Amino acid sequence: MIKVMNIKKKFYDKKHGDFYAVDDVSFQIEKGEIFGLLGPNGAGKTTLLRIMATIMQQSTGQIIVNGYDTKEQPEEVKKSIGFLSGNTKLYKKLTPVETMKFFGKFYDIPKKVMEKRIEEIIYSLQMQDFKDRIIEKLSTGQVQKTSIARCMIHDPNIYILDEPTLGLDILTSRTIIDFIKKKKEEGKTIIFSTHYMEEADSLCDRIALIHKGKIIETGRIEDLKEKTRQTNIRDIFLTYIDRRDGVYELPEN
Ligand SMILES: Nc1ncnc2c1ncn2[C@@H]1O[C@H](COP(=O)(O)OP(=O)(O)OP(=O)(O)O)[C@@H](O)[C@H]1O
Protein backbone atom coordinates (compact mmCIF):
# COMPACT_ATOMS: atom_id res chain seq x y z
CA MET A 1 0.00 0.00 0.00
CA ILE A 2 1.14 3.54 -0.74
CA LYS A 3 0.00 6.60 1.23
CA VAL A 4 0.85 10.03 -0.16
CA MET A 5 0.03 12.73 2.39
CA ASN A 6 0.09 16.47 1.66
CA ILE A 7 3.21 16.38 -0.46
CA LYS A 8 4.66 19.68 -1.57
CA LYS A 9 7.83 20.20 -3.55
CA LYS A 10 9.22 23.68 -3.95
CA PHE A 11 11.58 24.53 -6.80
CA TYR A 12 13.21 27.73 -7.86
CA ASP A 13 13.79 28.99 -11.35
CA LYS A 14 14.80 32.43 -12.60
CA LYS A 15 11.55 33.06 -14.45
CA HIS A 16 9.08 32.01 -11.74
CA GLY A 17 11.14 32.36 -8.57
CA ASP A 18 10.00 29.88 -5.91
CA PHE A 19 7.13 27.71 -7.09
CA TYR A 20 5.47 24.43 -6.12
CA ALA A 21 5.89 21.73 -8.77
CA VAL A 22 3.86 19.45 -6.49
CA ASP A 23 1.35 21.31 -4.40
CA ASP A 24 -0.34 19.56 -1.49
CA VAL A 25 -0.95 16.21 -3.14
CA SER A 26 -2.61 13.36 -1.23
CA PHE A 27 -3.92 9.95 -2.32
CA GLN A 28 -3.75 6.32 -1.34
CA ILE A 29 -3.06 3.27 -3.52
CA GLU A 30 -4.20 -0.16 -2.36
CA LYS A 31 -2.25 -3.39 -2.83
CA GLY A 32 -2.87 -4.91 -6.25
CA GLU A 33 -4.15 -1.71 -7.83
CA ILE A 34 -3.07 -0.12 -11.08
CA PHE A 35 -3.11 3.59 -10.42
CA GLY A 36 -2.60 6.08 -13.26
CA LEU A 37 -1.18 9.54 -12.71
CA LEU A 38 -2.42 11.57 -15.65
CA GLY A 39 -1.51 15.06 -16.62
CA PRO A 40 -0.01 17.28 -19.31
CA ASN A 41 3.67 18.20 -19.65
CA GLY A 42 5.01 19.95 -16.59
CA ALA A 43 2.10 18.87 -14.36
CA GLY A 44 4.44 17.49 -11.70
CA LYS A 45 4.18 13.75 -12.42
CA THR A 46 7.90 13.01 -12.63
CA THR A 47 8.65 15.08 -9.54
CA LEU A 48 6.01 13.23 -7.51
CA LEU A 49 7.14 9.78 -8.70
CA ARG A 50 10.78 10.61 -7.96
CA ILE A 51 9.84 11.59 -4.42
CA MET A 52 7.87 8.34 -4.03
CA ALA A 53 10.91 6.41 -5.29
CA THR A 54 13.22 8.18 -2.78
CA ILE A 55 15.30 9.76 -5.57
CA MET A 56 14.24 13.21 -4.39
CA GLN A 57 12.91 14.55 -1.10
CA GLN A 58 9.70 16.48 -0.60
CA SER A 59 9.67 19.97 0.91
CA THR A 60 6.79 18.99 3.23
CA GLY A 61 4.41 16.06 3.68
CA GLN A 62 4.94 12.33 4.10
CA ILE A 63 4.87 9.22 1.91
CA ILE A 64 4.55 5.68 3.26
CA VAL A 65 5.44 2.86 0.86
CA ASN A 66 4.90 -0.71 2.04
CA GLY A 67 4.89 0.55 5.64
CA TYR A 68 8.12 2.56 5.28
CA ASP A 69 8.61 6.32 5.27
CA THR A 70 10.34 7.39 2.04
CA LYS A 71 12.31 10.11 3.82
CA GLU A 72 13.23 8.21 6.99
CA GLN A 73 13.68 4.67 5.60
CA PRO A 74 14.66 5.07 1.94
CA GLU A 75 16.69 1.85 1.86
CA GLU A 76 13.68 -0.23 2.94
CA VAL A 77 11.49 1.54 0.40
CA LYS A 78 14.03 0.88 -2.37
CA LYS A 79 13.86 -2.87 -1.70
CA SER A 80 10.07 -2.87 -2.15
CA ILE A 81 9.92 -0.87 -5.37
CA GLY A 82 10.95 -1.11 -8.97
CA PHE A 83 11.37 2.40 -10.35
CA LEU A 84 11.42 3.14 -14.04
CA SER A 85 12.50 6.70 -14.67
CA GLY A 86 12.73 8.60 -17.92
CA ASN A 87 16.48 8.88 -17.54
CA THR A 88 17.40 5.39 -16.36
CA LYS A 89 21.06 4.93 -17.20
CA LEU A 90 22.20 1.62 -18.65
CA TYR A 91 25.71 0.51 -19.49
CA LYS A 92 25.92 0.66 -23.26
CA LYS A 93 28.44 -2.17 -23.58
CA LEU A 94 26.35 -4.70 -21.64
CA THR A 95 23.61 -6.85 -23.15
CA PRO A 96 20.11 -6.98 -21.58
CA VAL A 97 20.92 -10.31 -19.90
CA GLU A 98 24.21 -8.96 -18.54
CA THR A 99 22.38 -5.83 -17.34
CA MET A 100 19.88 -7.91 -15.36
CA LYS A 101 22.67 -10.01 -13.86
CA PHE A 102 24.66 -6.90 -12.98
CA PHE A 103 21.79 -5.21 -11.15
CA GLY A 104 20.63 -8.50 -9.66
CA LYS A 105 23.95 -8.73 -7.78
CA PHE A 106 22.98 -5.69 -5.67
CA TYR A 107 20.10 -7.67 -4.21
CA ASP A 108 21.89 -10.92 -3.31
CA ILE A 109 19.58 -13.02 -5.44
CA PRO A 110 20.62 -16.72 -5.50
CA LYS A 111 22.03 -17.72 -8.92
CA LYS A 112 19.32 -20.25 -9.76
CA VAL A 113 16.50 -17.85 -8.79
CA MET A 114 18.12 -15.12 -10.86
CA GLU A 115 18.44 -17.35 -13.94
CA LYS A 116 14.79 -18.38 -13.74
CA ARG A 117 13.70 -14.78 -13.21
CA ILE A 118 15.72 -13.55 -16.19
CA GLU A 119 14.10 -16.22 -18.35
CA GLU A 120 10.63 -15.14 -17.25
CA ILE A 121 11.37 -11.46 -17.81
CA ILE A 122 12.72 -12.11 -21.29
CA TYR A 123 9.59 -14.05 -22.12
CA SER A 124 7.08 -11.59 -20.65
CA LEU A 125 8.71 -8.54 -22.27
CA GLN A 126 9.42 -10.39 -25.53
CA MET A 127 13.14 -9.73 -25.48
CA GLN A 128 14.24 -13.02 -27.07
CA ASP A 129 15.58 -11.45 -30.28
CA PHE A 130 17.89 -8.94 -28.63
CA LYS A 131 18.67 -10.30 -25.17
CA ASP A 132 22.35 -10.89 -26.07
CA ARG A 133 22.95 -7.77 -28.17
CA ILE A 134 24.81 -4.85 -26.56
CA ILE A 135 22.61 -1.94 -25.54
CA GLU A 136 24.23 0.64 -27.81
CA LYS A 137 22.91 -1.36 -30.77
CA LEU A 138 19.32 -1.53 -29.54
CA SER A 139 16.28 0.48 -30.68
CA THR A 140 14.42 2.90 -28.35
CA GLY A 141 11.76 0.30 -27.58
CA GLN A 142 14.33 -2.42 -26.92
CA VAL A 143 16.22 -0.11 -24.56
CA GLN A 144 12.98 0.72 -22.76
CA LYS A 145 12.21 -2.96 -22.30
CA THR A 146 15.72 -3.44 -20.91
CA SER A 147 15.16 -0.56 -18.46
CA ILE A 148 11.94 -2.20 -17.28
CA ALA A 149 13.70 -5.57 -17.01
CA ARG A 150 16.39 -3.93 -14.92
CA CYS A 151 13.91 -2.44 -12.46
CA MET A 152 12.10 -5.75 -11.88
CA ILE A 153 15.04 -8.10 -11.33
CA HIS A 154 14.52 -8.07 -7.52
CA ASP A 155 10.83 -8.94 -7.98
CA PRO A 156 9.51 -5.87 -6.13
CA ASN A 157 5.95 -5.63 -4.79
CA ILE A 158 5.45 -2.14 -6.12
CA TYR A 159 6.22 -0.68 -9.52
CA ILE A 160 6.61 3.05 -10.02
CA LEU A 161 6.77 3.65 -13.75
CA ASP A 162 7.33 7.11 -15.20
CA GLU A 163 5.88 7.29 -18.71
CA PRO A 164 6.64 3.62 -19.50
CA THR A 165 5.36 3.84 -23.07
CA LEU A 166 6.65 7.30 -24.01
CA GLY A 167 7.78 7.43 -27.63
CA LEU A 168 7.16 3.73 -28.31
CA ASP A 169 5.32 2.14 -31.23
CA ILE A 170 1.97 0.46 -30.61
CA LEU A 171 3.38 -3.08 -30.56
CA THR A 172 6.04 -2.28 -27.98
CA SER A 173 3.52 -0.26 -25.95
CA ARG A 174 1.14 -3.22 -26.07
CA THR A 175 3.80 -5.57 -24.69
CA ILE A 176 4.49 -3.16 -21.84
CA ILE A 177 0.78 -2.71 -21.10
CA ASP A 178 0.29 -6.49 -21.08
CA PHE A 179 3.26 -6.75 -18.74
CA ILE A 180 1.65 -4.24 -16.34
CA LYS A 181 -1.60 -6.25 -16.42
CA LYS A 182 0.32 -9.47 -15.70
CA LYS A 183 2.02 -7.86 -12.71
CA LYS A 184 -1.37 -6.86 -11.35
CA GLU A 185 -2.54 -10.48 -11.70
CA GLU A 186 0.48 -11.46 -9.59
CA GLY A 187 -0.80 -9.11 -6.87
CA LYS A 188 1.70 -6.32 -7.48
CA THR A 189 0.83 -2.66 -7.03
CA ILE A 190 1.53 -0.34 -9.95
CA ILE A 191 1.56 3.41 -10.22
CA PHE A 192 2.45 4.84 -13.58
CA SER A 193 2.37 8.27 -15.16
CA THR A 194 1.32 9.05 -18.66
CA HIS A 195 0.03 11.85 -20.76
CA TYR A 196 -1.50 9.36 -23.17
CA MET A 197 -5.00 9.58 -21.77
CA GLU A 198 -6.44 6.71 -23.83
CA GLU A 199 -3.84 4.30 -22.55
CA ALA A 200 -5.06 4.68 -18.98
CA ASP A 201 -8.65 3.92 -19.93
CA SER A 202 -8.32 0.17 -20.31
CA LEU A 203 -5.52 -0.25 -17.82
CA CYS A 204 -6.16 1.65 -14.61
CA ASP A 205 -8.32 0.72 -11.66
CA ARG A 206 -8.18 4.33 -10.56
CA ILE A 207 -6.60 7.52 -11.83
CA ALA A 208 -5.52 10.86 -10.44
CA LEU A 209 -5.67 13.86 -12.73
CA ILE A 210 -2.80 16.22 -11.99
CA HIS A 211 -2.48 19.74 -13.31
CA LYS A 212 -0.02 22.45 -12.28
CA GLY A 213 1.11 20.39 -9.30
CA LYS A 214 -2.37 19.82 -7.89
CA ILE A 215 -4.59 16.77 -8.00
CA ILE A 216 -7.81 17.94 -9.55
CA GLU A 217 -9.65 14.62 -9.28
CA THR A 218 -9.08 11.03 -8.17
CA GLY A 219 -11.33 8.07 -8.76
CA ARG A 220 -12.42 5.06 -10.78
CA ILE A 221 -12.62 5.91 -14.47
CA GLU A 222 -16.22 4.69 -14.66
CA ASP A 223 -17.19 6.99 -11.80
CA LEU A 224 -15.46 9.96 -13.39
CA LYS A 225 -17.18 9.26 -16.71
CA GLU A 226 -20.51 9.28 -14.94
CA LYS A 227 -19.70 12.38 -12.93
CA THR A 228 -18.58 14.40 -15.94
CA ARG A 229 -21.01 12.73 -18.40
CA GLN A 230 -18.07 12.05 -20.71
CA THR A 231 -17.14 8.83 -22.46
CA ASN A 232 -13.34 9.04 -22.51
CA ILE A 233 -10.56 10.23 -20.24
CA ARG A 234 -9.41 13.00 -22.54
CA ASP A 235 -12.84 14.62 -22.33
CA ILE A 236 -13.01 14.00 -18.60
CA PHE A 237 -9.73 15.87 -18.24
CA LEU A 238 -10.87 18.71 -20.46
CA THR A 239 -14.09 18.96 -18.50
CA TYR A 240 -12.07 19.83 -15.43
CA ILE A 241 -9.85 22.33 -17.16
CA ASP A 242 -11.51 25.29 -18.78
CA ARG A 243 -10.05 27.16 -21.74
CA ARG A 244 -8.42 29.70 -19.49
CA ASP A 245 -6.58 26.85 -17.84
CA GLY A 246 -8.41 27.30 -14.56
CA VAL A 247 -10.05 24.50 -12.64
CA TYR A 248 -13.64 24.11 -13.67
CA GLU A 249 -16.13 23.44 -10.88
CA LEU A 250 -18.47 20.60 -11.81
CA PRO A 251 -22.15 20.97 -11.09
CA GLU A 252 -23.38 18.69 -8.27
CA ASN A 253 -25.59 16.62 -10.59
N1 LIG B 1 15.12 20.47 -10.53
C2 LIG B 1 14.19 21.35 -10.90
N3 LIG B 1 14.36 22.68 -10.67
C4 LIG B 1 13.42 23.58 -11.03
N5 LIG B 1 12.26 23.25 -11.64
C6 LIG B 1 12.04 21.95 -11.90
C7 LIG B 1 12.99 20.93 -11.56
N8 LIG B 1 12.50 19.73 -11.95
C9 LIG B 1 11.29 19.98 -12.50
N10 LIG B 1 11.01 21.31 -12.49
C11 LIG B 1 9.79 21.97 -12.97
O12 LIG B 1 8.70 21.43 -12.20
C13 LIG B 1 7.54 21.31 -13.01
C14 LIG B 1 7.05 19.87 -13.01
O15 LIG B 1 7.98 19.07 -13.73
P16 LIG B 1 7.80 17.50 -13.90
O17 LIG B 1 8.97 17.00 -14.66
O18 LIG B 1 7.50 16.90 -12.58
O19 LIG B 1 6.46 17.42 -14.79
P20 LIG B 1 5.83 16.20 -15.60
O21 LIG B 1 4.37 16.19 -15.27
O22 LIG B 1 6.59 14.96 -15.32
O23 LIG B 1 6.03 16.67 -17.10
P24 LIG B 1 6.42 15.83 -18.44
O25 LIG B 1 5.19 15.08 -18.82
O26 LIG B 1 6.75 16.94 -19.38
O27 LIG B 1 7.60 14.98 -18.07
C28 LIG B 1 7.93 21.83 -14.39
O29 LIG B 1 7.56 23.18 -14.44
C30 LIG B 1 9.45 21.68 -14.41
O31 LIG B 1 10.03 22.63 -15.27
Query: Residue 93: which CATH number?
Result: 3.40.50.300
Domain boundaries, position 84: 2-240
Whether 245 maps to a domain, the answer reads no
Whether 166 maps to a domain, the answer reads yes
- In the chain, the number of structural domains is 1
Question: Which residue has the CA at smallest separation from atom 5 of ligand 1?
Answer: 11
Whether 209 maps to a domain, the answer reads yes
Residue 219 Cα to ligand 1 midpoint, Å, equals 24
For 166-201, what is each residue's pLDDT tens digit? 888 888 889 899 999 999 999 999 999 987 888 888
For 82-141, what is each residue's pLDDT tens digit? 999 987 789 999 999 999 999 988 888 888 999 999 999 999 899 999 999 999 999 999
Is the beta carbon of 167 within 6 A of some atom in ligand 1?
no
Whether 248 maps to a domain, the answer reads no
**ipTM of the complex as predicted:** 0.95
pTM of the model: 0.90
Parallel, antiparallel, or unpaired: how do β-strands 81-84 and 158-162 relate? parallel
Distances (CA, A) of 152 to 80, 163, 194: 10, 16, 20
Whether 51 maps to a domain, the answer reads yes
Is the beta carbon of 49 within 6 A of some atom in ligand 1?
no
pLDDT band at 205, cuts 50/70/90?
very high
Question: Given this model, what pLDDT does residue 253 score?
Answer: 41
Helix/strand/coil for 108: coil
Whether 252 maps to a domain, the answer reads no
Question: Which residue has the CA at smallest separation from atom 31 of ligand 1?
Answer: 42
Is the beta carbon of 87 within 6 A of some atom in ligand 1?
no
* Overall average pLDDT of the 204-218 stretch: 93
Question: Given this model, what pLDDT does residue 252 score?
Answer: 46
Determine the Cα–Cα distance for residues 46 and 201; give it in Å rounded to an integer.
Answer: 20
